[in-house]
Structure 1
Amino acid sequence: MDKQISWNSLAKKQQELQFSGSIHIRKSGEKILSDSFGYAIHSEKIANQPHTRFSIASGSKIFTSVAICKLVEEGKITFDTKIINCLDIDFPYFDEGITIHHLLTHTSGVPDYFDEDEMDDYEELWETLPSYRVRCAKDFLPMFQYEKMQAETGNTFKYNNTGYIILGLVIEHNSGMNFVDYIEKKIFHTAGMTDSGYFSMDQLPESVSIGYMEQPDGTWKSNIFSLPAKGGPDGGAYVTATDMGIFWEALTSGRLLSEEMTSILLTPQENVVEDIFYGYGGYMESNEQGVVKYNQMGYDPGVNYRSVHYPNQNLTIVVCSNKSEGAYEMLKEVERLIINK
């Protein structure tokens, strides 16, 4: 890749979008490009850097999936284990046939605490439940525990955040560890993701970006009252773009799971639409020859994350933003330069 041409093109796109965030491109273990734009903290004019940590919203669901796969490898659960048999929490209106597989593939039918077909603003959730009280998986229970099923179990794919909260509870119950501690020790530490973690928004460490949302009058406000105080099983980890490149390298090289289990994680399970599938590890594009690329995405107020991994080229592109928009467009520009050149 011609770095100068790419830099000029990316810089132009960044100016057009006023993109704020980091981009990391990695191929076969080698960094191709790692750059940052905009401000991590607007009021102080503190610039984003390659070592800046960004919240990635649902982009961190894959960490929950890997953790579940590790418990399956250890023989503590199986993908066919029913949640009534691996949790000590009562869900009186849930289908007793719901399995780990259903939760991983968004086919459980459980009531989603944030149904994106019914709500388009995650911020609205915290008008009745103070966000500062939500700091672990169990804190989400009042939002769905006594609700009725949303759909028939196993019937069809419907993206569901509640399912991953339940998976986090399964991880805690069957590992004997707090969810955050498990992910940080078993995944981040093992992979070498030294800058990543689950941080409380009122106790952020150094080099963390604040998320910003544009207001109708053109001003910006932070997302501190728009998200749970601390991320968990369905999203909210903080990572550097570089660390996510390292994550994919660790995953595909067998440092996190066995070769067999990695294959299971990355195999298509549910057809979403046309050539888009969902597996235990997220979305993917597949054709007659197999999976073309894996897609990860995350959207929250003031958070925008996109990444892709091309298995046949061992190529990973990561885009993290501390604004609500822009990551997808920057990702497509990088793909145009590298894949479609």
Structure 2
Amino acid sequence: MDSDFVRGNDRRWLLRWGGLAAVCAVAAGVPLVGAQPGHADPAPTDPDIPPDTLPGGAYDRYLAELAAQDKFSGVVLLSHRGRTVLSRSYGMADKEKGIRNHEGIAFNLSSAGKPFGAVAILQLVQQGAVKLSDTVGTFLTGFAKEIAEQVTIHHLLSGTSGLNTPAEDLQRIFQSREEVHEFYEQWARQSTLVATPGTPTDHSGAEVVIPAQIVEAVTGKTYWDYVQENIFERCGMTGTAFYTRPQWLTDEHIAHSYMTLADGSRVDAVRNLNEGSPYPYELGKNPGRSFIDAPGDGGFATAPDLVRFAQGLGNGTVLDRPYADLLTGAKIPHGQAQGGLAATADSSFGAYDMPVHIVNGQWVFGRAGANPGSCASWNIYPYTGWVGVVLSNYDGLPLQEISQQEVQAVTGRH
């Protein structure tokens, strides 16, 4: 990867992300925590702003058509160097209470929240408290001997652990954080080693839960509290948290997830715990039953907060530059591209808890996720300073097509 991003040309990289003010602030030792994405419309003649990204442009028109057909409900945001270029909100956050979606609404992230766990681990690596070559058994007990001695943190974060985890009990309705914590503590320990560590693994849940448990073992805090304090608060992500079911039910700043049923109708998942998804890959699942998302997974975020997270990765707020590069560095080449950014990309790779792509001559980092009643995606374009966010409280979204439209708008890739 012969680029300024990898070589560490800090000044040029920071200029792309936050402008000269960002460089001056860092040089003066002033943290950029809590920087607010701006809302001024860019000048249409700005050569760094592709026309398709502007209000009224191709991407905006595409999303408006989806929303008009009731195929999209949520928030979409495009930010360039910390300045909002396009922000659109559609549909209702809570139909029963008549609350509309807007930028201050937090949406369920599902797998789009997994990179927070990788950042947490790399913070501990940066501090010298953890090594990526450490095995599971270095910090945790109760695992099978071959897992404890052979599977490393690097294997877990890169999706190459060789582990298989038993199916979750999707019908169980959890009643407390403690119950969720205990369940996943035991569930991870039922994992089996089905391939040699270093072998790409097919979406093993243990690869997310075990690193979160290592964070807890090293810090003495729950994963949820550690990430809240050391990632969300550092970045000024004031609307982002691992909300509980009672908060989801009562907080007017959290979007209710409208889950599609077998007959095509939509139901408020968190108010109807007896209903489950008909989709085969998550048959019977209802995210509201979880009480709180599993350690290492999920959470809720607003679109501007995900821009703040992207800025926090770029300006050293959450990780020093070498460790931010380590987070997003390509680890495992992917095979034939399938869907989303991968289908648009020239090349795709696995990094730590996220895919990374080369699209039209530039790297794109990010993560998507889906739950019954929600879809989420955030993408970072580090060469040009763009961040794209899509958050929805509908499932069945054409997320792959939306991602392709976003990339086309930002990079000019057709």
> So what's the TM-score if we normalise by structure 1?
0.89
Please, which moves more after superposition, 263-272 or 136-145? 136-145
Of 74, 87, 96, the residue aligned with 1:21 is 74
Q: Partner of 1:320 in structure 2?
A: 391
Q: State how far apart, in whole Å, the 1-side matches of 2:199 and 2:164 are.
A: 14
Please, which moves more after superposition, 153-162 or 207-216? 153-162
Runs (5+) with no aligned partner, structure 2: 1-50, 274-285, 337-346
Q: Partner of 2:142 in structure 1?
A: 90
Please, which moves more after superposition, 5-14 or 99-108? 5-14
Is structure 2 residue 304 aligned with structure 1 residue 234?
no
Question: Do the aligned partners of 2:373 and 2:393 also contact (CA within 8 Å) in 1?
Answer: yes
Of 255, 259, 275, the residue aligned with 1:209 is 255
Structure 1 pair 155–338 and aligned structure 2 pair: CA distance change class (3 A):
closer
How far 1:333 sits from its partner (Å)?
A: 2.8
Q: State how far apart, in whole Å, the 2-side matches of 1:311 and 1:328 are.
A: 21
How do residues 74-89 of structure 1 correspond to structure 2 at under 5 angstroms? 74-87=127-140, 89=141
Of 144, 159, 173, the residue aligned with 1:130 is 173
Is structure 2 residue 212 aligned with structure 1 residue 168?
yes
Structure showing the higher helix proportion among its residues: 2
How far 1:86 sits from its partner (Å)?
A: 1.5
Counterpart secondary structure, 1:202: helix
Structure 1 pair 316–113 and aligned structure 2 pair: CA distance change class (3 A):
farther
Is structure 2 residue 60 aligned with structure 1 residue 41?
no
Structure 1 pair 287–46 and aligned structure 2 pair: CA distance change class (3 A):
closer
Q: State how far apart, in whole Å, the 2-side matches of 1:202 and 1:273 are.
A: 42
Question: Do the aligned partners of 1:54 and 1:208 also contact (CA within 8 Å) in 2?
Answer: yes
Amino acid at match of 1:64: G
Q: What does the per-residue CA deviation read over 1:260-309, in whole Å, with 9 as the maximum and x for residues that have no partner?
A: 111111101112225211111510113896x6211311111112111211
Q: State how far apart, in whole Å, the 2-side matches of 1:150 and 1:144 are.
A: 14
Q: State how far apart, in whole Å, the 2-side matches of 1:28 and 1:49 are.
A: 22
Q: State how far apart, in whole Å, the 2-side matches of 1:328 and 1:286 are.
A: 16
Q: State how far apart, in whole Å, the 1-side matches of 2:333 and 2:169 are.
A: 30
Q: State how far apart, in whole Å, the 1-side matches of 2:201 and 2:133 are.
A: 17
Counterpart secondary structure, 2:162: coil
How far 1:15 sits from its partner (Å)?
A: 2.0
Q: State how far apart, in whole Å, the 1-side matches of 2:305 and 2:380 are.
A: 14
Structure 1 pair 288–339 and aligned structure 2 pair: CA distance change class (3 A):
closer
Q: State how far apart, in whole Å, the 2-side matches of 1:26 and 1:197 are.
A: 22
Q: What does the per-residue CA deviation read over 1:216-260, in whole Å, with 9 as the maximum and x for residues that have no partner?
A: 333222333312210133322110011111110111111111111
Structure showing the higher strand proportion among its residues: 1
Q: State how far apart, in whole Å, the 1-side matches of 2:107 and 2:360 are.
A: 36
Number of residue pairs matched by the alignment: 329
Is structure 2 residue 126 aligned with structure 1 residue 73?
yes
CA RMSD of aligned residues (A): 2.2
Structure 1 pair 34–109 and aligned structure 2 pair: CA distance change class (3 A):
same
Q: Partner of 1:189 in structure 2?
A: 233
Counterpart secondary structure, 1:261: helix
Of 230, 244, 267, the residue aligned with 2:329 is 267
Q: Partner of 1:249 in structure 2?
A: 311
Counterpart secondary structure, 1:273: coil
Q: What does the per-residue CA deviation read over 1:177-215, in whole Å, with 9 as the maximum and x for residues that have no partner?
A: 111111011000101111100011123333101111122
Runs (5+) with no aligned partner, structure 1: 115-123
Amino acid at match of 2:300: Y
Of 396, 401, 411, the residue aligned with 1:329 is 401
How far 1:77 sits from its partner (Å)?
A: 0.7
Question: Do the aligned partners of 1:137 and 1:165 also contact (CA within 8 Å) in 2?
Answer: no
How far 1:69 sits from its partner (Å)?
A: 0.2
Q: Partner of 2:354 in structure 1?
A: 282
The structure number with the bigger radius of gyration is 2
Question: Do the aligned partners of 1:295 and 1:306 also contact (CA within 8 Å) in 2?
Answer: yes
Is structure 2 residue 112 aligned with structure 1 residue 59?
yes
Structure 1 pair 189–321 and aligned structure 2 pair: CA distance change class (3 A):
same
Q: Among all aligned residue pairs of Structure 1 and Structure 2, give the percentage whose two residues are the same amino acid.
A: 23
